[in-house]
Amino acid sequence: MALLQIAEPGLAAAPHEHRLAAGIDLGTTNSLVATVRSGVAETLPDADGRHTLPSVVRYTAGGVEVGESARLAASGDPLNTIASAKRLIGRGVADVKSIGEELPYEFVSGDSAVPRIRTLAGDVTPVEVSAEILKVLGGRAQQTLGGELAGVVITVPAYFDDAQRQATKDAARLAGLHVYRLLNEPTAAAVAYGLDRGADGVHAIYDLGGGTFDVSILRLHNGVFEVMATGGDTALGGDDFDAAVAGWLLQQASLGIDADRGTLRHALDMARAAKEALTDATAVDVQLTLPQGGTWHGELTRERLAELIDPLVRKTITTCRRVIRDAGVSTDDIEDVVMVGGSTRGLRVRERVAELFGREPLVDIDPDRVVAIGAALQADVLAGNKPDDDMLLLDVNPLSLGIETMGGLTEKIIPRNTTIPVARAQEFTTFKDGQSAMAVHVVQGERELVADCRSLARFELHGIPPMVAGAARIRVTFAVDADGLLHVEAREQTSGVSASVEVKPSYGLTDDEITGMLQASIDHAGKDMDVRRLVEEKVEAQRVIEALSAALANDADELLDAAERARVDAALQRLVAVAESSQSAADVEAAIKQLERDCEFYVERRMNSGIRKAMAGHRVDEFSEENGSSAD
């Protein structure tokens, strides 16, 4: 008799078989891959002993170069060497314009919504560039571990939106990797520190990488990692520090911002080297090779570096204050601050963070490796290698998700900072009699009006049974998965007809939207609520106007004489005028109540008329007999 080999779902068939898994920190400047071996998470080096892989890809006529060799060739071949692709991934052509001028690439013009960069090997997208980096990291893990990877966990900034997360998964698919899940970078750092230290309490994760910034407030308790609040900027990081220093160097060398691409890349390289050297030194000598020949020599001091980068550091501190407020805690409640990302090596950054939180930040785990280590620990759990592990990761969605309702109002279904994965549902109804379809507009943001939020997707629900206004029950369900991707479904409850959409927008948030959406909601909170109340009253007025107009068309000649009809029409026109012109919610509300008083006699006649029609051909005692028999 043949025997079947049985294993628990997600676990290896052989009891002692260790499934190969890895965690990947796909960074803007550098990337790493880590795994758990003999119970210890560690980053994996390449053949030359280097743990970090520069996130740089060079396209040549002979093939593709990734990593250090590509980085070294960048200044001599800037058009074919793509760095900082993470800043472009998941963004549309319009969105990269704000940062495209700072990047020495040649973007292809065309109808595509996805930016394409012209190279010797053909036009490439940021997804394809990222896939090349992931191929190298996946290959390094497989070569080191001696087998195929069962899956990987890839980290992303907590503030990556749906498009950027989906683009990251697409890049992994192109690289031939199975993604267990995407993990927010601050949460990955919490995994590394929390498991190593067993530290319960409230912690802040300050993550400043090459191109992105995140800050998260997390509560760690009994192995549960809960993100209480998160915020950040997907277009702020060490690259911006380098650009500020490079601009100053070019100005000192009398070259200006109009330098050619090769000189600009050279200046960025020199700026990065000088910035890193000032971590240990108080001043460094800098020299630039001039395009017309010769060199320029100068000096960069710690004080000058602090002046150049302070405006950018202040932006991160402002975000920290907002996130602390969102979490409902004070700096005194935060036990420690974990520094993540290579840009946190800068002394000025550490000084400003220490000033804000009132304590020295933690830097004892290599800030470049901590995210990859956390991702590796999570990948080991998801691979089924630690079936008894009760570690639970609870990320949050950074911005509220909702739909547009009548009057252009936003109805939030999943508020910001809600723990994910999550599913929430809310019932809506029709506005007009006989309405058989409904347009669903999915939006993201904190403002009360749709015009002030970000549009994510639109779809339509058809086949709603014709009913009187307000009778239909349409249940709209929002489901956000562990990767932060959104699925929206609308279902009419009586007929079962449904429609849905998977939100994969072709563009990401612009820099201004990312930095301003939350602040704008705070700045305009009072005004937004006043506007919302006004719109709600105007929508109610419109409902009353349409209902009364329909009633008059149906039975006014039967129930009203000429004088009464004129009285009702006058009351109706007064409400129409107020609803169209008034900017006061109280005035519109008062006009609705006045109409109801003026038309009270008409409403009463309609009710009496309806009762008479219902009883026509019947005796009163018939209804009494029916009631009596039903009571027996």
Catalytic residues: 25, 86, 185, 207
- Beta-carbon contacts of 59 under 8 Å, excluding residues fewer than 6 positions away, are 80, 81, 82, 119, 120, 121, 122, 124
Residue with tokens 């571990």: 145
Are 555 and 568 spatial neighbours (Cβ–Cβ below 8 Å)? no
Question: Cα–Cα distance between 39 and 384 in angstroms, integer?
Answer: 13
Question: Cα–Cα distance between 596 and 626 in angstroms, integer?
Answer: 35
Element (H or E) spanning 68, and its range?
A: helix 68-72
Are 91 and 84 spatial neighbours (Cβ–Cβ below 8 Å)? no
Strand order in the sheet with 224-233: 334-340, 201-208, 213-221, 224-233, 392-396, 419-420
SS (H, E, C) 285-297: EEEEECCCCCEEE
Q: What is the CA radius of gyration of the chain?
A: 31
- Tokens matching residue 366: 């290599």
Closest CA to 505 of 394, 395, 401: 401
Closest CA to 221 of 240, 200, 235, 248: 200
Partners of residue 438 on adjacent β-strands: 461
- Beta-carbon contacts of 454 under 8 Å, excluding residues fewer than 6 positions away, are 399, 443, 444, 445, 509, 513, 517
Element (H or E) spanning 334, and its range?
A: strand 334-340
First vs last Cα of the chain: how many Å apart? 67
Closest CA to 161 of 98, 95, 209: 95
Q: In this structure, are strands 151-156 and 179-184 parallel, antiparallel, or unpaired?
A: parallel
Please count the helices (runs of H) and the strands (runs of E) in the chain: 16, 25
